Structure 1
């Protein structure tokens, strides 16, 4: 190719198109990877209410990982993010409006709330993470198969299983594992 041909308008536009095509391919790959990671691996979430005080504050930003629950079920004490169960949806909550609570009872467990304590299988839980003891009575009731009993750490200001019942397993999005904002309180939850 002569220098005259390499400086022609046609070759200039071919070079521009070639460079843009590479950039477009890189952008497309980045978008596909971001979608796959957010859908199957982890996603950021924020805390919209005070129901998890004092553990999580309104406005905290978290990483919710989705892989571990493919390998094992949620465990008692895990903080999970989930889609509202059917009863909450009939109360006006949108299906895509995520909730965050702590797992208290797993399938087969018996849960009760009495005299300011939460009981799991007739044993009082030691809960140094709650805002204050619950001021209500609930249960005892056995958690059904493929369901969980979840509660907010702010026991007396939480729309949780003591209000709307058990959480179906299929509604669980993932495990809240890391607070990344605000920076002064960042760390594992």
Structure 2
């Protein structure tokens, strides 16, 4: 029986693969078969050298990392099946690295976006004032969210203008904070925090209702 047809039948019967998945696998595996014909090889004769050239062939056709990885996934599945069935003694794909797509740089917020985000909380509410103070502090200091949320009252020096967060490995550092953020933190401490604080979190700077 044709190895591709047998493999696709296994995917359908044992794994319940969808028609679209089967169609994509068939297309990729027939492309691999065409490549092997050019190499004057069959599925059983292909080795690591052929697999390396196959990946280069896919690249020369203009395929990106994700597409190459998809083709390689289909071929790997076929060879795992052939190995399990005893048709081949060694999987020629076992030492191939799956291509990884390039990492995208995170999109940065514009100044307009930052201002809109900071001004989102409803400062007429205690929890909104808390959130505004937190956002102002994050923007002014560059603290991680976990560091800011982990601050305690004694970690904040409003008169000197700095906070002392605890980072990874329980390491502490002194971080300067701008006047505007300090003003919002001071307002939060005076008017909103006394309303929100619970006994169990008495020492925590930013508290829940």
Q: By percentage of residues, which structure has more strand?
A: 1
TM-score with structure 1 setting the length: 0.22
Greater length-normalized contact order (CA 8 Å, ≥ 6 residues apart): 1
